[in-house]
Chain A
Amino acid sequence: MTNALTMLQALAPEVVVAATAFLVMGLDLRRNPSPRAQATVAIWGLLAGALATIPDWLDTAASNSALTLWGGIFLADPLSVVFRALACVTGALVLLFSIDPVDAERRNPGDFVTLVPFVVLGLMLSVSTGELLTFFVAFEIVSLPLYLMAAWNRNERASAEAGMKYFVTGSVSSAVMLYGISLVFGTMGTTFFSQIATRYEALADPPQAFVLGSLMILAALGFKIAAAPFHIWAPDVYQGAPRPSAMFISTAPKAAMVAVMLRLFWGSLALQGRDFRLAETWMVLLAVMAILSMFWGNLVALAQTDIRRLMACSGIAHIGYTLLGVLAASRAGAELEGAAAAIYYVVVYSFANLAAWGVIVLVGWRTGSDRIEDYSGLARRSPFLAFALLISLLSLAGAPPLAGFLGKFYLFRALWEAQPAWWWMVLIGIVNSVISLYYYFGILKPVYFGAPQDEASALAVPWRFRAGLMVCLAVLMVLGLFPELTRMTLEAGAAILAQQGTP
């Protein structure tokens, strides 16, 4: 096999998505652009990108190896395959849910459609790079379009404010990350994940600047995933941004950043097994972030009356649970289970969140309201939408036999496996799950128990929403019963382990 062929195979998904992005952009330049046609092209292009990851999977999953390009700038391994495919599918679903309302509201729908593949491209690069600066650039490709999307309805105060907030906090976090990267580079002389670990091992004393740099990177990633105490922007942005943008912001970047966290910190910066003290510090910080996120998210969600703010709080709480998995992964001997649990959880969270937001987008578009009390009688107005909301919220709440239940189960199991003395954190997780039931079922209460506000008001569900929701629901229901995704996440976790071993 020639080198060029390997390269093409490894990069095929990115090539497909990049080509799609430019094609969609070009379609917008026609005299009579049709945003719906653009969206169709983009959706098929993104799905093709997801399918193009299959050869990488077949080549790397069995042997736990990575197709490495340019000395580690680009890695195609099972971890990147899972998250590249997830980013593509998320982008396709977001387009499916957003094109109808965005097109109907006539706010530059063509441009909105064009931005989505670019975000996906950035996400794909950021999960498959093994080098800090490339990661930074890839993540800026993600962030800039998302800032725009948050401020899309620029004539509305709320949307402009959301865009501004997201932009300011986001750029501060980017700056913090860049500073952290420069400190790491300054002390270690390299930005490659795998080399940082080797250089560090050769040193007798951990340089303080290196520790500071790692912590700054951690804080910046905390901003991106909206983990407490870096979460304050989330509720305002989700509430003010256009609903399709909020849907995108709440899923794709979070999932990708969890993958990056696992790869980056676990592979090199936390230096598991090399320096005990540093790993301990890292675990304490993670535990604090996880517990704060769970409690803040769940307790504040109890008081929300706006479903978008509620979903923001629920998202913060879920990142808290996911960090429990990352925490478990930081413990020697339980890396595989911890990483697999975190990956599984965040994948399942993405689909459940997409389904819930799909309903929120449609209901918000048709009724113009996001108040939970206005969901009263949704089960009468559209049984299908109510069912979709039911399944997605039950999965988020962790009810069996849905995928969310298995996800929580794996997390708690991994955490206990990592360190039996952490059983109290498992207890905190379980208590938080019970708290979250109150607000998830608080949404379902008006949906199923309430009467519609005006009687003869059936909510028509356009076919795009129906198709997208069906896909999400199928994933949530099938994954709960069949363990295939579990196996995939185990292999993705093994990929990080393997990477940790490479010098």
Chain B
Amino acid sequence: MDTLVTQLDRLPLLSLVTLAPLAGALIILCLPERSVRAIQTVALLATGFSLALAGWLYARMSAFPDATGFLWQELHPWLPEFGMQYHLGVDGLSMPMVLLSGIICFTAAFISLQIDFRHKEYFALALTAMTGVFGVFTSLDLFLLILFYEMASIPMFFLVGIWGSDKTGVGRPIRRQDAAMKLLLYLQLGGGLVLLGIFGLYFLSDLKTFDYPELLRATLAREHQSWLFLLIFLGFAIEAGLVPFHTWLPDGHSSAPTALSMLLAGVLLKMGGYGILRVAVGLLPEGARIWLPLIGVLAIVNILYGALCALRQTDIKLMIAYSSVSHMGIVFLGTSGMALPGVGTGALFGATGAVFQMFSHGVITALLFGLAGTVYLITHSRDMTRWGGLASRMPWLATVYTLGALGSLGLPGMSGFAAELMVFLGTWQQRPFLAVLAICGLVITATYLLRSVQFAFYGPLNPRLAEVRDALPTEKLPLGLLALTTLVLGLAPRLLTDVTTPALRALLERLAS
């Protein structure tokens, strides 16, 4: 057994996880347009393979809690003249994100079975984007990271524009083509700022390399760190939905096809959060000490503003999208406490909570978007006020939606509770005032989520919807998997914290020194 494992470790495991979806996309390009079943099978197999391998790696990493540094590294020269290489590796910070990507990609591929036209293009683009997502989390070379980032964000333009849905009805109308363009421009602007920041790291560190472990040894002047931190933070924050750069998020997420909403909210936002922790905080500790505490204020704005906006929506996808803005605020809040001096446990609580929240919010939002999209597919309406009483016709969907909503509002026993508790505990120790404001946001969150449950699934049945179906087995499987993940993590948060703690502790030590 032991020898088998050592044999397996010689394989380029992370490359396999990362590139499996892209290989699937290439196979799909070779298949004829009309063999829909084959295309779908390839997509499921490719994402399923990535998920299985990511899960296995995660299990192995959690079996060795003391392992520090990057595991399963792969290093190949690519353009040595320019200090670029193909360098992959994971640690306790990126491994949970890789697993999250595996879960979201697999379930999104399942939900994508709902797509009923232009299958070939859809799956080829979606799988390419998925490789980009995995790559951002596995790459240890900043140039490679930017490359994967772009690979994840550009296909979104086509996926949203072609297969998305328009918002009509009450309030501001949103056309999917405009939403796609907005999303593209914002994500690219974010990527551009990050690129500029990375150039700064490359040149100002005098190391002339994009290699992450090498750059960890760089010593940068305080003034440079401050500027570079701002650039890189802002770039990634645009992607993570920081107010006031969030406006692409509600439009893009609500217009996207269901599976893409899951991917966008589930992992694309997390690329931003991860980038902040990995690149901005990880490489620029001085800069982080200057700016991170201030970001706490923006985080509170995110939490409250997102929640208030969500409260006003009757379009369910738009409501979930605004709830993402609000919940990403909690990630920012947890991150912002990392650099505060003197209160070590608070910082660790906050950081762990931030990572936990990224994972938990990824799973829960993907679940909610999956459910909302499925109900939209059945009822042809995204307006919650036009649903009503659906619980009697679709009990399975209603139950799971209630479960997801409770998880999202932070009911004890669900993953959202564990994440928010950690962030609030951390913040309370450092800045009680901010914690109080953030908890106010929770009250609003509970209001809009419970109201949506009431609007959509309870009350008198809309007679127009008397003949609707419940979820199909192909929908129950992915949605059930997501719901189960939320429950398991809520009941056993250590499954996640055991993996993240060593990496976060190392990060905090770097910040403190």
Residue contact A417 to B81, C-beta cutoff 8 Å: no
Stretch touching chain A among B182-190, B352-360, B478-486: B182-190
Stretch touching chain B among A34-42, A51-59, A268-276, A428-436: A428-436
Please classify the interface of chain A as helix (H, G, I), strand (E, B), loop, or mixed, using the class held by over half of its residues.
Answer: helix
Measured between alpha carbons, how far is A427 from B199 in the docked complex, in Å?
Answer: 11
Measured between alpha carbons, how far is A438 from B184 in the docked complex, in Å?
Answer: 9
Measured between alpha carbons, how far is A417 from B199 in the docked complex, in Å?
Answer: 9
Residue contact B79 to A483, C-beta cutoff 8 Å: yes
Residue contact A437 to B185, C-beta cutoff 8 Å: yes
Q: Is A177's beta carbon under 8 Å from chain B?
A: no
Q: Is B236's beta carbon under 8 Å from chain A?
A: no
Interchain CB contact (< 8 A) of B184 among A412, A426, A441, A449: A441
With contact pairs A400-B151, A420-B203, A441-B157 given, residues A434 and B196 touching in the complex (Cβ less than 8 Å): no
Q: Which residues of chain B from 266 to 292 have any CB-CB distance to chain A below 8 Å in the complex?
A: none
Residue contact B196 to A427, C-beta cutoff 8 Å: yes
- For residue A384, give the distance in angstroms from its CB to the closest CB of chain B: 12
- For residue B147, give the distance in angstroms from its CB to the closest CB of chain A: 5
With contact pairs A400-B150, A448-B158, A448-B161 given, residues A431 and B81 touching in the complex (Cβ less than 8 Å): no
Q: Is A416's beta carbon under 8 Å from chain B?
A: yes
- For residue A441, give the distance in angstroms from its CB to the closest CB of chain B: 6
Residue contact B203 to A399, C-beta cutoff 8 Å: no
Q: Is B64's beta carbon under 8 Å from chain A?
A: no
Which chain A residues lie closer than 8 Å to B199 at the CB level? Answer: 412-413, 416, 423, 426
Q: Is A286's beta carbon under 8 Å from chain B?
A: no
Residue contact A426 to B196, C-beta cutoff 8 Å: yes
Residue contact A449 to B162, C-beta cutoff 8 Å: yes
Residue contact A399 to B154, C-beta cutoff 8 Å: yes
A427 (CB) vs chain B CBs: closest residue: B196
Q: Which residues of chain B from 202 to 259 have any CB-CB distance to chain A below 8 Å in the complex?
A: 202-204
- For residue A171, give the distance in angstroms from its CB to the closest CB of chain B: 41
Which chain A residues lie closer than 8 Å to B146 at the CB level? Answer: 400
> Which of B151, B158, B202, B204 gathers most chain A CB within 10 Å?
B158
Residue contact B154 to A394, C-beta cutoff 8 Å: yes
Residue contact A434 to B192, C-beta cutoff 8 Å: yes
Residue contact B158 to A405, C-beta cutoff 8 Å: no
- For residue B53, give the distance in angstroms from its CB to the closest CB of chain A: 23
Residue contact B181 to A438, C-beta cutoff 8 Å: yes
Residue contact A434 to B157, C-beta cutoff 8 Å: no
Residue contact A445 to B181, C-beta cutoff 8 Å: yes
Q: Which residues of chain A from 394 to 447 have any CB-CB distance to chain B below 8 Å in the complex?
A: 394, 399-401, 405, 409-410, 412-413, 416-417, 420, 423, 426-427, 430-431, 433-434, 437-438, 441-442, 444-445
Interchain CB contact (< 8 A) of A445 among B82, B177, B203: B177
Measured between alpha carbons, how far is A423 from B228 in the docked complex, in Å?
Answer: 12
Interchain CB contact (< 8 A) of B161 among A431, A433, A445, A487: A445
Which chain B residues lie closer than 8 Å to A434 at the CB level? Answer: 185, 188-189, 192
Which chain B residues lie closer than 8 Å to A416 at the CB level? Answer: 199, 203
Residue contact B188 to A449, C-beta cutoff 8 Å: no
Please classify the interface of chain B as helix (H, G, I), strand (E, B), loop, or mixed, using the class held by over half of its residues.
Answer: helix
Residue contact B185 to A483, C-beta cutoff 8 Å: no
Which chain A residues lie closer than 8 Å to B202 at the CB level? Answer: 413
Q: Is B200's beta carbon under 8 Å from chain A?
A: yes
Q: Is A486's beta carbon under 8 Å from chain B?
A: yes
Which chain A residues lie closer than 8 Å to B162 at the CB level? Answer: 448-449
Residue contact A420 to B204, C-beta cutoff 8 Å: yes
Which chain B residues lie closer than 8 Å to A433 at the CB level? Answer: 188, 192
Which chain A residues lie closer than 8 Å to B195 at the CB level? Answer: 409, 412, 430
- For residue B151, give the distance in angstroms from its CB to the closest CB of chain A: 6
Which chain A residues lie closer than 8 Å to B56 at the CB level? Answer: none
Measured between alpha carbons, how far is A336 from B199 in the docked complex, in Å?
Answer: 18
Residue contact A399 to B150, C-beta cutoff 8 Å: yes
- For residue B204, give the distance in angstroms from its CB to the closest CB of chain A: 7
We find that the number of chain B residues with CB closer than 8 angstroms to chain A is 30
Which chain B residues lie closer than 8 Å to A420 at the CB level? Answer: 203-204
Residue contact A438 to B151, C-beta cutoff 8 Å: no
Which chain A residues lie closer than 8 Å to B157 at the CB level? Answer: 441, 444
> Which of B150, B162, B188, B200 gathers most chain A CB within 10 Å?
B188
- For residue B186, give the distance in angstroms from its CB to the closest CB of chain A: 9
- For residue B135, give the distance in angstroms from its CB to the closest CB of chain A: 11
We find that the number of chain A residues with CB closer than 8 angstroms to chain B is 31
- For residue B222, give the distance in angstroms from its CB to the closest CB of chain A: 17
- For residue B50, give the distance in angstroms from its CB to the closest CB of chain A: 19
Which chain B residues lie closer than 8 Å to A426 at the CB level? Answer: 196, 199
Which chain B residues lie closer than 8 Å to A442 at the CB level? Answer: 181
Measured between alpha carbons, how far is A329 from B150 in the docked complex, in Å?
Answer: 28
Measured between alpha carbons, how far is A107 from B302 in the docked complex, in Å?
Answer: 65
- For residue A372, give the distance in angstroms from its CB to the closest CB of chain B: 14
Which chain B residues lie closer than 8 Å to A400 at the CB level? Answer: 146-147, 150-151
Measured between alpha carbons, how far is A399 from B82 in the docked complex, in Å?
Answer: 19
Measured between alpha carbons, how far is A412 from B203 in the docked complex, in Å?
Answer: 12
Residue contact B79 to A486, C-beta cutoff 8 Å: yes
Which chain A residues lie closer than 8 Å to B185 at the CB level? Answer: 434, 437-438
B203 (CB) vs chain A CBs: closest residue: A416
Chain B 59-82 interface 0/1 with A at a Cβ cutoff of 8 Å (1 = within): 000000000000000000011011
- For residue A421, give the distance in angstroms from its CB to the closest CB of chain B: 11
Q: Is A120's beta carbon under 8 Å from chain B?
A: no
Measured between alpha carbons, how far is A430 from B202 in the docked complex, in Å?
Answer: 17
Which chain B residues lie closer than 8 Å to A401 at the CB level? Answer: 147, 151
Which chain A residues lie closer than 8 Å to B196 at the CB level? Answer: 412, 423, 426-427, 430
Residue contact A413 to B82, C-beta cutoff 8 Å: yes
Which chain B residues lie closer than 8 Å to A430 at the CB level? Answer: 192-193, 195-196
Interchain CB contact (< 8 A) of A486 among B81, B189, B193, B204: B81
Interchain CB contact (< 8 A) of B188 among A423, A437, A490: A437
- For residue A429, give the distance in angstroms from its CB to the closest CB of chain B: 9
- For residue B152, give the distance in angstroms from its CB to the closest CB of chain A: 11
Q: Which residues of chain A from 485 to 503 have any CB-CB distance to chain B below 8 Å in the complex?
A: 486-487, 490
With contact pairs A400-B151, A401-B147 given, residues A437 and B184 touching in the complex (Cβ less than 8 Å): yes
Measured between alpha carbons, how far is A314 from B181 in the docked complex, in Å?
Answer: 19
With contact pairs A416-B203, A434-B189, A483-B78 given, residues A405 and B150 touching in the complex (Cβ less than 8 Å): yes
Chain B 149-190 interface 0/1 with A at a Cβ cutoff of 8 Å (1 = within): 011001001100110000000000000010011001100110
Which chain A residues lie closer than 8 Å to B151 at the CB level? Answer: 400-401
- For residue B185, give the distance in angstroms from its CB to the closest CB of chain A: 6
Measured between alpha carbons, how far is A444 from B157 in the docked complex, in Å?
Answer: 10
Which chain A residues lie closer than 8 Å to B78 at the CB level? Answer: 483
Chain A 1-26 interface 0/1 with B at a Cβ cutoff of 8 Å (1 = within): 00000000000000000000000000
Measured between alpha carbons, how far is A434 from B203 in the docked complex, in Å?
Answer: 23
Measured between alpha carbons, how far is A433 from B154 in the docked complex, in Å?
Answer: 14
- For residue B134, give the distance in angstroms from its CB to the closest CB of chain A: 15
Chain A 470-481 interface 0/1 with B at a Cβ cutoff of 8 Å (1 = within): 000000000000
- For residue B199, give the distance in angstroms from its CB to the closest CB of chain A: 5
Which chain B residues lie closer than 8 Å to A405 at the CB level? Answer: 147, 150
With contact pairs A413-B82, A441-B184, A448-B161 given, residues A431 and B150 touching in the complex (Cβ less than 8 Å): no
- For residue A278, give the distance in angstroms from its CB to the closest CB of chain B: 27
> Which of A427, A441, A444 gathers most chain B CB within 10 Å?
A441
Measured between alpha carbons, how far is A405 from B202 in the docked complex, in Å?
Answer: 18
Q: List 25 A-B contacts (CB under 8 A).
A: A394-B154, A401-B147, A401-B151, A405-B150, A410-B82, A412-B195, A412-B196, A416-B199, A420-B204, A430-B192, A430-B195, A430-B196, A434-B189, A437-B185, A437-B188, A441-B181, A444-B158, A445-B161, A445-B177, A445-B181, A449-B162, A483-B81, A486-B81, A486-B82, A490-B81
Residue numbers of B with Cβ under 8 A of A are 78-79, 81-82, 143, 146-147, 150-151, 154, 157-158, 161-162, 177, 180-181, 184-185, 188-189, 192-193, 195-196, 199-200, 202-204
Residue numbers of A with Cβ under 8 A of B are 394, 399-401, 405, 409-410, 412-413, 416-417, 420, 423, 426-427, 430-431, 433-434, 437-438, 441-442, 444-445, 448-449, 483, 486-487, 490
Top 8 A-B pairs, shortest CB-CB distance: A430-B192, A400-B150, A400-B147, A483-B79, A449-B161, A434-B189, A434-B188, A416-B199
